[in-house]
Amino acid sequence: MPPRELAHLLDALPDGVVLLDAAGAVEQINAEASRIVGLSREAAAGRPVERLLGPKHAVARLAREVLAGGGTSLESECPVPQRFGSALVVEVAAAPLFGVGGRPDGAVLALRDRTLQQQLSHVVSERERLAAFGRIAAGIAHEVKNPLGGIRGAGELLALRAADDKTREAAALIVREADRIGALVDDLMVFARGDALRLAPVNLHRILDDALDLLAHDPIGARSRVERRFDPSLPEVEADADRLMQVFLNLARNALQAMEEGGTLTIATRMTLGQRLTSASGEPVATVLVELHDTGPGIAADVLDRLGTPFFTTRPGGTGLGLALSQHWIARHHGALRVESVPGDGTRVRVALPLRQTAGRGAA
């Protein structure tokens, strides 16, 4: 087939295709592959495969294995960093090409962008997780609330009839602890109830300012600095102001608590093109991003995996509901909440919210 026709054919494919010659240099690259690797066709042509995404990247590794005589190989979930926005998740397959006489004389790479699928499966598992919390919450409320009322009543009675101080104190402790458990169960019930959001146009900066003002009076933030990097052109979002206030209070409080020895909490807002939310049909929707970055110790990988599970805490005195509730409310807004931690660079919490709440939307 003439090369021009081959190029047309390759461009029509939904997958990225790169043809390499026997030396491992790019002979052909189609439109999708050029989008994924972030290089124009002209810039990519003739480059050794190592100079597409670096010598250590799966693309170069698999290509070299195949060129050295190996068979077809595949690697799923390879991150491909992008100049703008977050990395793509790509499936890379490499296969040998054979010339006249069946001698190997090159390789073909197929690159399949799996980013959207991965994000969608993440959303589904997040939804399932939240639904499971709801079922657990309803079960606990049922099993715990009624006997708790009895325990509290008995404690009050004991306190009234106590003959000595020690018994009175013990009875008061029963009442206090029963109240504490009752409050926890009430918090947990949020997952079970489908409380409606009270939607209105919301100025996110005002909410963030209010949350930070409240925390300014709290000794937890006494040693830390707060930096606001607000995008003044940020439009109002359609949201429930009280719930968002609760979310940002939780997140900012976590950040300040992580920086007991002092540090900087930077809160940035912007409209985003990079980390996008998508509609149920997969279309990107206008999204605002609030990012809280703290210079605390960061979060270990094994802890990171368990974040957002109700009652998971590493803080003495913590209830472990802050993040779970925040995630719940952001999900109810069809948004996304992600926690990232890079060793030595503290913790970054990204909250993405759709500008408008359109019915039937799913977030990615």
Ligand X SMILES: Nc1ncnc2c1ncn2[C@@H]1O[C@H](COP(=O)(O)OP(=O)(O)OP(=O)(O)O)[C@@H](O)[C@H]1O
Minimal distance, residue 294 CB to ligand X, in Å:
5
Query: How many other CB atoms are found less than 10 A from the CB of residue 27?
Result: 17
Structure tokens at 129: 């997780």
Minimal distance, residue 243 CB to ligand X, in Å:
16
Minimal distance, residue 180 CB to ligand X, in Å:
12
Q: Where are the beta strands (DSSP E) in 30-183?
A: 73-80, 88-98, 104-113
Residue 228 contact partner, candidates ligand X, Mg ion, none, CB within 5 to 8 A by sort of partner: none
Residue 16 contact partner, candidates Mg ion, ligand X, none, CB within 5 to 8 A by sort of partner: none
Residue 117 contact partner, candidates Mg ion, ligand X, none, CB within 5 to 8 A by sort of partner: none
- Cβ proximity to ligand X, 45 vs 303, nearer residue: 303
Minimal distance, residue 298 CB to ligand X, in Å:
6
Residue 314 contact partner, candidates ligand X, Mg ion, none, CB within 5 to 8 A by sort of partner: ligand X
Minimal distance, residue 303 CB to ligand X, in Å:
6
Minimal distance, residue 323 CB to ligand X, in Å:
3
Residue 320 contact partner, candidates ligand X, Mg ion, none, CB within 5 to 8 A by sort of partner: ligand X
Three-state DSSP class for residue 126 = helix
Minimal distance, residue 321 CB to ligand X, in Å:
4
Q: How many residues does the chain have?
A: 364
- Cβ proximity to Mg ion, 253 vs 356, nearer residue: 253
Three-state SS across 132-173? Answer: HHHHHHHHHHHHHHHHHHHHHHHHHHHHHHCCCHHHHHHHHH
Residue 73 contact partner, candidates ligand X, Mg ion, none, CB within 5 to 8 A by sort of partner: none
Residue 313 contact partner, candidates Mg ion, ligand X, none, CB within 5 to 8 A by sort of partner: ligand X
- Cβ proximity to ligand X, 38 vs 320, nearer residue: 320
- Cβ proximity to ligand X, 8 vs 306, nearer residue: 306
Mutual angle of helices 204-216 and 241-258, in 10-degree steps: 50
Angle 54-56-58 from CA coordinates, rounded to 5°:
95
Structure tokens at 171: 């009875």
Mutual angle of helices 241-258 and 322-332, in 10-degree steps: 150
Which residue's beta carbon is nearest to the bound Mg ion? 322
- Cβ proximity to ligand X, 90 vs 299, nearer residue: 299
User: Dmax of the chain from CA atoms?
Assistant: 103
| Residue 270 φ then ψ, to 5° | -165, 160
The number of CA neighbours under 13 Å toward the Cβ of 306 is 10
- Cβ proximity to ligand X, 64 vs 243, nearer residue: 243
Number of H helices and number of E strands within the chain? 11, 12
Q: Is 101 left (phi over 0), alpha (psi -120 to 50) or beta?
A: left
Query: Where on the chain is the footprint of Mg ion (CB under 5 A)?
Result: 254, 322
Residue 262 contact partner, candidates Mg ion, ligand X, none, CB within 5 to 8 A by sort of partner: none
Q: Which residues of 58-74 are buried (b: 16+ CB within 10 A; e: fewer)?
A: bbbbbbbbbbeebeeee
- Cβ proximity to ligand X, 283 vs 345, nearer residue: 345
Query: Where on the chain is the footprint of ligand X (CB under 6 A)?
Result: 250, 254-255, 258, 294, 296, 299, 303, 307, 312-315, 318-324, 347
- Cβ proximity to ligand X, 72 vs 319, nearer residue: 319
Minimal distance, residue 279 CB to ligand X, in Å:
29
